[in-house]
Amino acid sequence: MVRQLHLRTQGGQESSASHPDIVGDRCLGPCLALCPEYCFILEDELGACGCVLGILDVRCFAKRCQASWMPAMRDKYPPKGGNTHPNTQVKLMEEDQGEYPDSLIYHFPSQLRLDALPELVDVSVSRTLLTALLTALKANGSQGVFCEVQPTDRQRLEFLTKMGFLEILRGEARSREGVVLGRLL
């Protein structure tokens, strides 16, 4: 399902025929494996078509990823041949666990990721998924949540702004081109 959702939301592109799950393992797997209570998946008649994934405590999550998720991924996707360098996708997974500024984490200790198919016309469904996640994070003690969005993703920026998110950082996102939006809970 992880692969199916990612492929559907990313236009059907797949990075590696030899490892068909690697894209899903990189983009959705850590949240689904380490904090499933904050993962909400939307399905239609063709399968998964959207999701909202949350992390209650980003710092704790990063430590858990390094301790359990990354070793599992290194075992699952070993270097090819006699190469000692990690698989490119595994290296990208490690970079995905980058550091955020303390000033960000202090006010916004939780993180979310929202993906939906562009043709998902009924934004009330995405709104419902996001509201469910925000409610769960707040009920478990979070005071704020942030997410990274590419500045070119106008539809997502507009949706999150309507949901009460404000731009809090630009250029300090891991992608260095992203915009960090945050919302107090």
CATH of the domain at 180: 3.40.630.30
Q: In Å, how far are 63, 68, 79, 112, 172 from 98, measured between CA atoms?
A: 11, 16, 22, 15, 11
- What's this model's pTM, rounded to 2 decimal places? 0.77
- Domains held by the chain: number: 1
Token pair 């009924």: residue:
122
> Tens digits of per-residue pLDDT, 44-69?
888 878 889 999 999 998 888 888 87
> Which residues does the chain have with pLDDT short of 70?
1-24, 26, 81-98, 119-122, 170-177
Res 7: pLDDT: 43
Domain that holds residue 44: 2-184
